[in-house]
């Protein structure tokens, strides 16, 4: 696990500029620093040592030094690839996974990326061809940003290492719609995200993008119709295989344990595969409906794990600015806060932790999927009931009935994709225009439509899951996990996002995912022998926070101060009177607008810390200890 960056240019690369880019990523790799500077290219890596502690420092070259590679991530099938490459005549000097990449590129050219099982962002400089190749894993687990002006291309693991440039109003519009910014957009006009499953080739000043992998649902004729007992046994075996691969490390590995079925299953399998007590880490809240520590403890007791936990309180003055520092572009999924804190907790004990991202998108874990299946049948009733539902008082409880009911009746009559988005949308088009005082021709939902149209002919529910898998998972959940963990120099691994698991899930008929209001049907049955009954039959879990209650209580003064007319007027993006009206409506209990307010707080704090003034470097506890 590392932070990587570099520059390819038609002229000499400034070593000081490359060093400054590398320094901005120090939190991603505090264990070593490496650079390669040659005519027209500079590569740099900040390493968090996980595999091959002795000889794995980067950049790493091939036998004659004509190709150099830097990598962020882990390749889980590197030993198999190494044996194949050695049979083909390649010679290795190290024992880790990074050197495999440079030899794989020599052997298979850009097809090397198709052969990789893992999470990665890779940069390879081919001096013979004066060619830079960037590759991002097929699931988008590891980030990769780039910026090009024709004469030069620069890239980095995080946006903070690239020049800031002008704000992209399309990126801002997408942020207001989703509380995150989907690829290829970023908040800056000149910079872009390399999408998952893509290669970028820079050669002779020209940039070419190529999609090498597109995970997604199969056609209706390819859906599996096996006996359920066989599917259950196969799923358990595939999950165990993935967990075993993700435990490969030369340092201790833990599990981020929420108390829900996804992370609990990972903890159970990891504990069975570990020769010593597994370390597990959990977050709880004082608010009862959000506190899931009892469920996490039940799993920890069952497997005798070395369990650590933390109870979170709403200390906004400390926590929200820390999140703004950790995220290099606006990001407003409020579950980033507990993910940040549980990563901080875990980093005090391990350097690697397994996390449960992907289970919901693959196996049907969201309430919206059940709503998708019943919406057409109940849309007329929902339309009639809407006036009554809209009058329900707003609760501060987790996943409250009033919140879900209002969302449902507002969108039930729409076409499938628009309806699915409507249940999760943050600011709709009219509210965005009211908030900003601008009308904007860009429709962020077009990014969803493009993904949706690629799966024509697949099962209707699977198509909506695929939109979540390719956009929400990538640009929200995986961004959250990457930044929150790497802020503390912790490597987070996601065993559900492994082809051995995803290919199986994509081929499952909808009945094995959602039946009526029952979600993750096959997955729950598959892991039932491994877990306490209360976990298997429990409602959806996750590191969500009591934001609605906090913003009606201890966080209200902080929100009003942060979103003051003076601050909003200075920044110039949002109309102060529109923002004040949102706060008043939420605090008055008329509607749960916590997601919208959290988004406005996140953007305002981000802009203040990353644009209005020079952002401070992230300093982790591990780095502070090294300084001391």
Phi, psi angle pair for 199, to nearest 5°? -110, 145
Q: Give the tokens for residue 496.
A: 């559900």
CA 107 to chain centroid: 31
Catalytic residue among 2, 24, 412, 568: 2
- Contact call for residues 336 and 324 (beta carbons, < 8 A): no
- Contact call for residues 599 and 175 (beta carbons, < 8 A): yes
CA distance 428 to 421: 10
Of the candidates 179, 181, 162, the residue with the CA atom closest to the CA atom of residue 171: 181
5 counts as catalytic: no
CA distances from 323 to 9, 336, 493, 596 (A): 34, 8, 21, 17
- Please provide the DSSP assignment of 390-450 as one string: TTSPPP-STT-HHHHHHHHHHHTTS-HHHHHHHTT-SS-HHHHHHHHS---S--THHHHHH
Contacts of 395 (CB under 8 A, 6+ apart): 401, 402, 403, 548, 592
CB atoms within 10 A of CB 548: 26
Locate all alpha helices (DSSP H) within 469-614, ordered by sequence: 478-486, 499-506, 521-527, 533-536, 547-551, 556-562, 565-571, 576-587, 594-610
Return the H-helix or E-strand segment holding 146. strand 145-148
User: How buried is residue 152: exposed, middle or buried, by Cβ count under 10 Å (0-12/13-18/19+)?
Assistant: middle
Terminal-to-terminal C-alpha distance of the chain = 24
Longest Cα separation, the chain: 74
Catalytic residues: 2
């Amino acid at each position: 696990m590392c932070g990587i960056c570099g520059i390819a240019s038609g002229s000499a690369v400034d070593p000081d500029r490359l060093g400054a880019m590398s320094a901005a990523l120090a939190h991603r790799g505090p264990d070593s620093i490496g650079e390669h500077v040659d005519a027209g290219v500079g590569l740099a890596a900040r390493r968090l040592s996980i595999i091959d502690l002795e000889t794995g420092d980067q950049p790493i070259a091939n036998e004659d030094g004509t190709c150099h590679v830097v990598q962020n991530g882990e390749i889980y099938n590197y030993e198999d690839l190494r044996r194949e490459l050695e049979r083909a005549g390649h010679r290795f000097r190290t024992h880790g996974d990074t050197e495999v990449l440079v030899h794989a590129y020599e052997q298979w050219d850009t097809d090397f990326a198709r052969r990789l099982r893992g999470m990665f962002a890779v940069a390879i400089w081919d001096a013979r061809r004066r060619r830079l190749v960037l590759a991002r894993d097929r699931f988008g687990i590891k980030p990769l940003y780039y910026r090009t002006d024709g004469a030069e291309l620069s890239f980095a693991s995080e946006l903070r290492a690239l020049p800031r440039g002008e704000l992209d109003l399309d990126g801002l519009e997408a942020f207001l719609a989703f509380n995150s910014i989907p690829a290829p957009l970023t908040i800056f006009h000149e910079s872009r995200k390399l999408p998952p499953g893509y290669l970028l080739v820079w050669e002779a000043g020209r940039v070419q993008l190529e999609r090498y992998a597109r995970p997604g649902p199969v056609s209706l004729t390819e859906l599996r119709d096996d006996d359920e007992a066989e599917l259950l046994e196969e799923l358990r075996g595939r999950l165990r295989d993935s967990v075993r691969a993700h435990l490969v490390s030369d340092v201790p590995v833990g599990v981020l344990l929420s108390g829900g079925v996804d992370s609990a299953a990972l903890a159970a399998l990891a504990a069975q595969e570990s020769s010593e007590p597994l370390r597990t880490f959990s977050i709880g809240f004082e608010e009862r409906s959000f506190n899931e520590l009892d469920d996490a403890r039940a799993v920890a007791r069952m497997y005798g794990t070395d369990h650590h936990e933390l109870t979170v309180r709403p200390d906004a003055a400390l926590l929200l600015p820390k999140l703004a520092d950790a995220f290099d572009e606006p990001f407003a999924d409020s579950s980033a806060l507990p993910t940040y804190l549980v990563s901080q907790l875990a980093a005090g004990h391990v350097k690697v932790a397994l996390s449960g991202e992907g289970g919901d998108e693959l196996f049907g874990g969201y309430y919206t999927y059940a709503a998708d299946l019943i919406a057409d049948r109940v849309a007329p009733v929902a339309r009639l009931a809407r006036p009554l539902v809209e009058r329900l008082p707003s609760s501060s409880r987790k996943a409250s009935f009033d919140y879900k009911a209002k969302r449902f009746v507002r969108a039930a009559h729409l076409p499938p994709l628009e309806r699915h988005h409507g249940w999760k949308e943050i600011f709709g088009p009219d509210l965005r225009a009211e908030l900003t005082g601008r009308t904007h021709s860009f429709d962020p939902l077009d990014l969803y439509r493009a993904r949706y149209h690629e799966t024509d002919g697949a099962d209707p529910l699977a198509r909506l899951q695929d939109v979540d898998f390719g956009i929400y998972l990538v640009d929200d959940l995986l961004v959250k996990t990457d930044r929150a963990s790497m802020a503390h120099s912790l490597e987070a691994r996601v065993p559900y996002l492994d082809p051995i698991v995803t290919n199986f899930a994509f081929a499952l008929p909808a009945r094995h995912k959602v039946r009526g209001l029952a979600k993750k049907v096959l997955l729950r049955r598959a892991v039932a022998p491994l877990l306490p009954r209360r976990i298997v039959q429990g409602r959806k879990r996750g590191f969500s926070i009591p934001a609605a209650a906090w913003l009606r209580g201890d966080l209200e003064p902080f929100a009003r101060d942060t979103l003051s007319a003076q601050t909003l007027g200075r920044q110039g993006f949002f109309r102060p009177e529109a923002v004040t009206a949102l706060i008043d409506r939420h605090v008055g209990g008329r509607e749960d607008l916590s997601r919208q307010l959290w988004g406005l707080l996140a953007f305002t704090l981000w802009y203040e810390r990353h644009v209005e003034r020079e952002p401070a470097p992230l300093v982790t506890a591990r780095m502070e200890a090294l300084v001391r």
